[in-house]
Amino acid sequence: MFDSIAIVGATGAVGTLIRQMLEERNFPYEKITFLASERSAGTKITFKGEDHTVELLRPEAFEGIDLAIGSTPDPVAAEFCPWAVERNCIVVDESGYWRMDPKVPLVVPEINPDAALNHQGIIASPNCSTTQMVLAMKPLHDAGIIRRVIVSTYQATSGAGVQGQEDLVAGSRAFLENEDYKYQVFAHPIAFNLIPQIGSAKHEGYTSEEMKMVFETQKIFGDDSIQVCPTCVRVPVENCHSESILVETEKKITAAEARELFAATPGIKVIDNLAAGEYPMPADCSGDDAVFIGRIREDLSCDNGLAFWCVSDNLRKGAATNAVQIAELLVRSQAAV
């Protein structure tokens, strides 16, 4: 058990979910501290029936804290993680800043739990679009060795934070009333539209979000030979990212075998009956920690290909749930010692 824990970015969309999960999952601790930047410090929150005041995120805030779970923008994480590490506080960090640092393990507990224990103070949790994909890949990779992944995403506005969700609702209302609306976070209207860009232009025509799916996947599996070709698209859906995924494996995996492999994997739920109109849809998967898989079928264009549809709550398994699971891993490893 860690005596003193902290939530960094405690008032954000993911921070709020992390708090909720620590309550629900009865995460063990003696003392809990909530930290946020100037804008939110001073906010009153209730946790396990007790009132807390959110404290200012500053170096000294980490004195005496053993474990911090952080969900902040990248520049904030760049700054605060070293403050914590210098004070012997381990950080599970949800931001994108540390993920590709060679000294920082990037962990999905169902895939590479051992990597989490081999940390130097910071453990990173992957990008939301990566996490659900790699969890879906895991049983297929174990059974048939994945050589290549082609993925097209359908990403919800909650991935752009609370303001992204507000933009969708307010933009949709305005559209239906034939009124103008000035978007806060999206460069183009997202209501009743699609934006085929998430993140910035990064590498040879690919966006930063797309390159995360390439590099993070290779790092999590510890295998740079897995080739990934992603297309990331923002869709007018409030919550839950969906992905159309095609994998090519060294050893053929039939649709029936894949269905069994998925069903036997902790963290995955299979909903797959096309004739009955049953498959995962974002509106149904919100609020669930699982990665949902359906439309499982063999590729028509390649002998060893397998296609499927994957939906998951990007704020949960894509963010808060995975971070809390990493923290639980650390607690269990302490208990084992």
Q: How many CA atoms lie within 13 A of 33 on its CB side?
A: 24
| Helix (H) / strand (E) containing 135 | helix 128-144
Supply the residues annotated as catalytic.
128, 241
With CA atoms as reference, report the closest residue to 128 among 104, 163, 94.
94
Q: Does 270 bind a second copy (CB under 8 A)?
A: no
Site string for a second copy, 201-220 (x = CB under 8 A): x--xxxx------x------
325 is in an annotated binding site: no
SS (H, E, C) 113-133: HHHHHCCCCEEECCCHHHHHH
**Piece of 56-64, 82-90, 226-234, 325-333 that binds a second copy (CB under 8 A):** 226-234
Among 89, 134, 149, 319, binds a second copy (CB under 8 A): 149
CB of 257 to a second copy, least distance (A): 13
296 belongs to the binding site for a second copy (CB under 8 A): yes
* Interface with a second copy: number of residues (CB under 8 A): 59
Tokens representing 293 are 């898989």
Could you write out the DSSP letters of every residue in 182-222? --SS-SS--TT--B---S-EEETTEEHHHHHHHHHHHHHHT
Q: Determine the straight-line distance between the first and last CA of the chain, rounded to whole angstroms.
A: 11
Tokens 């297929």, residue? 140
- The span of 47-55, 111-119, 275-283, 314-322 binding a second copy (CB under 8 A) equals 275-283
267 is in an annotated binding site: no
Annotated binding site for substrate: 155, 234
> Would you tell me which residues interact with a second copy (CB under 8 A)?
148-150, 152, 154, 168-169, 172-173, 176, 187-189, 192-197, 201, 204-207, 214, 227-231, 233, 235-238, 242, 244, 246, 255, 274-275, 277, 279-283, 294-302, 305, 307, 309
